[in-house]
Chain A
Amino acid sequence: MEPMNPAGEAALQAATAVHPLIPVNGQVPLAWYLILATILFTVGVVGVLVKRNPIVIFMSVELMLNAVNLCLIAFGRYLGNIGGQMISIFVMAVAAAEVAVGLGILISIFRSRESINVDEVNLMQG
């Protein structure tokens, strides 16, 4: 994307004035980013709820996180705020740590029961 400049921003405003979904002057409309992020997030949510394999669940969680990252960066670009990108870096770091811990738990569970079907981890039932 092109960096923002006052002239460019005016051109952007002019361009999006017609409809948020229509590209103007070759610029990708913000809405497309948001729609993509939503779709990715939804897919991720469905994956977490439906899948039984914890590894796939982790992947879905990553998908959700990345959707959020996309969203953050898109907003950062279009609002001229570099904070979006900063938070995104944090999110990626946390995601990595989380996966590490999660896989550790997964391996521990696998060692004790030879199966990683999350439906079978129901000792807290009752």
Chain B
Amino acid sequence: MEPTAHEIVNPLLWLIPLFPLLGFLIIAFLGAGITQSPKPVVGADPHGHGHGEEHHTVEGSSELPLARGAEDAEEAHHVDTGAHDAHDAHAHGGHDAHGGHDAHGGHDDHGHHGHEAQTNPAGTRLVGAIATLAVLASFVVSVLVFFQVAASGGHAGAEGAGEAAHAVTRIFSPYFTWMHVPSMAGLPALDLSFRLAVDPLTALMLLVVTGIGTLIHLYSTGYMAQENGYARYFGYLNLFVFFMLLLIMGSNFLVMFVGWEGVGLASYLLIGYYYERKSAGDASKKAFIVNRVGDFAFLIALFLIFKHFGTFEMFGENGVLSRAAAGDWPINYLGTGLAAASGLVPLLMFIGATGKSAQIPLYVWLPDAMEGPTPVSALIHAATMVTAGVFMVCRSHVLFLQSPETMTVVAVIGLVTCFLAATIGLVQNDIKKVLAYSTVSQLGYMFLAAGVGAFSMAMFHVTTHAFFKALLFLGSGSVIHAMHHEQDMRKMGALADKIKTTYRTMFIGTLAIAGIPPLAGFFSKDEILLNAFLGPEYNGLGHWSLWLVGWIVAGMTPFYMWRMMGKTFMGEARYSPEFAKTIHESPPSMTFPLIVLAGLSVVGGFLNPAALAAIGIHGDWLHTFEHFLGSTTNWREAAGKELNIPHNIELGLVLASVAMAVVMSLVAWNLYKRRKDGVLLPEPQKAGNRLYQTLYNKWGVDDIYINVFVRGGKRLSNWLWRFMDVRVIDGTVNGIAAGIGGFANSLKGWQSGYVRNYALSILVGVVIVVVACLVAALRASAQ
């Protein structure tokens, strides 16, 4: 693959995914040992050793299976490391014994027996540092790569002329062929290679993933400090970042798919982090299985791509995206020749995206995924993994543009999901569930944007959403931390004075998500709604009905967010005063990311404050983001279909958005701020209210899935077991055996042991032989 003038080869690209991978490997193999390193014992304890079986059942395994490190043990019960080696089946470094040590200030171990992890605080700090520094290193390299991309002409300015102005800089890593199957028997050659590519779209995602990833790693060092499986958590988190980086940096669809699957795996591991809880295990399985359904569709799409294009590479002259842009597009997938059939590949890819990015019909895993630790929800289920679907759609926007039907499907499903999730979020009582449904709803906005052709705005919303949603999740984590892991908002209240920093940063985040100017959410959401409104007469792909529903949801969003804020921070304390005394603000490791993200939420919108054109401000800087992404997402310039935005429409839409956001915010804030008990409807009314019950029941979607798929699957399995396996397969095998046995049994009758029968059979045999000879002789003599 010859690099052109705009393609650069930079081997340092491999460093970006390499750092988190190294972090994962180091923590996987050494983490458990580091966090529970042995300490010399001060004195024996007459209580004796209660370890072995006891702590296996109490604490479970707190290490990664790869590293059978030191088992947790009750403190002060260790006499001798040697005795424990004999005791434990694992080969490890011995036990931790804190007993009389006061050097470890990390935990209170005097008088506590049995159930707490005896972690080594220095070790845990080291593990946390390794993980965070790994991602930070990736971030630093990403920034360098970002500048390289930006500086080398990544801007496709309107004043540029000719093709060169539209070209973007693409940096590649060296080509590494993993497997090459030469062409044979009329089939095309199969070239599977590992190569990373960074263009402006990727550079943007790199900054988001590694930047917010670093902040969340830092936050986690504070949030997860008391957990047993500290090393396991950070190992998995680094693994996730590694796979996410592969996903966004892959220069062919296969590397992207490796990352795609890998983030699903990491999500499973992290959601099921508290695996001792059955609900967490169920949620992680649900997430992975639902994801897999989407992955199946994505895989079929990849097969179809290979079938037509003969390659998985995205870029270059032979790349899928380049050729599709040039018009090389199959329309005969189903043998029908129907133009609509050409949408099969993008449709299947979109189904994959619905799995990963939680749209209808595969969104059901995301609310359950809140079983995982809160930083996980922030990173994976708000900022990065769920945006992988949007990223993939924007990356392959050329394929989607080939099929207007698929674009419509994308937009409509995005919109419906947006609406549905917002309605469910209105009635949730768990603080994290509100945010989960909010995420699903905002992702719907992103797909709406993609469906109407505004891919760069979808990415812009990805970015701003990452800022404020991560902020909100981390803030909620801070609240949960302060409330000693209480997540039900009905048991909160009056927290604003107690956890000021959390309250203020979450307030900023809520302003952002509500779409109140000039914070980030307003600019990105407004652009999406604008693109959704403009129909074909303005060169757009939208329709006013899309805008209308989007606008209504833009009203519901502030409502449920301010409801959340009101219930959590305002009103009266719905807990005991003794409990109130234990509420304290989070440590700086947790509040620092909150402050950084709040700052980004405030200024992030000014990356592309296009709405300012409505009030008369003009200039190129209004579209910095869009220009930076260039032709990776901007197809209108090349196609000559620039959006024609009449000023009055733009002004009207901006005013409508602002009005809706401000009005609903004030309404909700006032409704909930003054409620002492934080509820709008009292309980008996809730039970009787059918609308409320429907919403509370998540529109019955989960029930439908359980009844159709889960129960149906179980019935199918049962039938297959009872009929196919027992009767058909076992029946055949056993039947053959029984048949042979029966046959042998019948032959047994010959062996009567009865001598006279044997004599008779000799006689019969003789007769037969004689008759045969006679017949033969007669025949011979007759001839």
Contact A126 B751 (CB under 8 A): yes
B755 touches A125 (CB 8 A): no
B756-A125 in contact (CB<8A): no
When the two chains form their complex, are residues B760 and A49 in contact, meaning their CB atoms are under 8 A apart? yes
- Tell me what chain B mostly uses at the interface: helix, strand, loop, or mixed: helix
Q: Is the CB of B756 within 8 A of A119?
A: yes
Mask, A104-126, CB within 8 Å of B = 1, is 00000000000000110111111
Chain A residue at smallest Cβ distance from B756: A49
Complex contact B763–A123 (CB within 8 A): no
User: At the interface, yes or no: A30 with Cβ under 8 Å from chain B?
Assistant: no
Count contacts on B: residues with CB < 8 A to the other chain: 10
- Chain B, residue nearest A52 (CB): B756
Chain A neighbourhood of B753, CB < 8 A: 121-126
Q: B759 at interface (Cβ–Cβ under 8 A)? A: yes
Known A-B contacts A49-B759, A49-B760, A49-B763; the reply to A122 vs B748 at CB < 8 A is no
Interface 0/1 of A89-117, CB less than 8 Å to B: 00000000000000000000000000000
Instruction: Kindly list chain A residues whose C-beta atoms are within 8 Å of the C-beta of B763.
Output: 45, 49
- Is A48 on the interface with B (CB-CB < 8 A)? yes
B-contact bits for A42-80, CB 8 A (1 contact / 0 none): 000100111010000000000000000000000000000
Task: Find chain A residues with CB under 8 A from B177 CB.
Answer: none
Please name all residues of chain B whose beta carbon is closer than 8 Å to the beta carbon of A122 when the two chains form the complex: 752-755
Distance in Å: Cβ of A59 to nearest Cβ of chain B: 15
Q: Which residue of A lies closest to B763 (CB)?
A: A45
How many residue pairs link A and B with beta carbons under 8 A? The number is 30
Q: Is the CB of A119 within 8 A of B754?
A: yes
The complex places the Cα of A118 from the Cα of B759 at a distance, in Å, of: 12
Interface size class of A (residues with CB under 8 A): 10 to 19
With A45-B763, A49-B763 as contacts: A118 and B751 at CB distance below 8 Å: no
Q: What is the distance, in angstroms, from A52's C-beta to the closest C-beta of chain B?
A: 8
Which residues of B from 727 to 769 have beta carbons under 8 Å from A? 748, 751-756, 759-760, 763
Contact of A121 among B751, B755, B760 (CB under 8 A): B755
B756 touches A126 (CB 8 A): no
Q: In whole angstroms, how far apart are the Cα atoms of A121 and B751 in the complex?
A: 13
Minimum CB–CB distance from B624 to chain A (whole Å) comes to 97
Bound complex: CA of A52 vs CA of B753, how far in Å? Answer: 14
A124 to B759, CA, bound (A): 14
| Contact with A118, one of B748, B752, B756, B760 (Cβ below 8 angstroms) | B756
- When distances are taken between beta carbons in the complex, the residues of chain A under 8 Å from B760 are 49
Q: Within the assembled complex, what's the spacing in Å between the Cα atoms of A52 and B748?
A: 23
> A126 contacts which chain B residues (CB < 8 A)?
748, 751, 753
Q: Interface centre among A49, A50, A121, by most B CB within 10 Å?
A: A49
Contacts of A52 in B (CB 8 A): 756
Q: Which of these, A45, A48, A50, A124, contacts B751 with CB under 8 Å?
A: A124
- What distance in Å separates the Cβ of B746 from its nearest Cβ neighbour in chain A? 13
User: Taking the nearest CB of chain A, how far is it from the CB of B745, in angstroms?
Assistant: 11
Q: Tell me the smallest distance from the CB of A6 to a CB of chain B, in Å.
A: 27
The A8-46 residues at the B interface (CB cut-off 8 A) are 45
Contacts of B756 in A (CB 8 A): 48-50, 52, 118-119
Q: In the complex, what's the smallest C-beta–C-beta distance from A57 to chain B, in angstroms?
A: 8
Contact A125–B751 (Cβ < 8 Å): yes
Q: Which one, A45, A50, A118, contacts B755 given CB within 8 A?
A: A118
CB-CB nearest in chain A for B748: A126
A123 / chain B contacts, CB cutoff of 8 Å: 753
Q: For A124, what are the chain B residues with a Cβ–Cβ distance below 8 Å? A: 751, 753
A122 to B748, CA, bound (A): 14
* Residues in chain A near residue B751, CB distance under 8 A: 124-126
Which chain A positions have C-beta within 8 A of B752? 122, 125
User: What's the Cα separation between A32 and B10 when bound, in Å?
Assistant: 119
User: Taking the nearest CB of chain B, how far is it from the CB of A5, in angstroms?
Assistant: 30
A118 and B756 CA atoms in complex are apart in Å by: 8
A-B contact pairs, 6 of them (CB 8 A): A45-B763, A49-B759, A121-B755, A123-B753, A124-B751, A126-B751
Closest 4 CB pairs of A and B: A125-B753, A122-B753, A124-B753, A118-B755
Known: A118-B756, A119-B755, A124-B751. 4 other contacts (CB 8 A): A49-B760, A122-B753, A125-B751, A126-B753
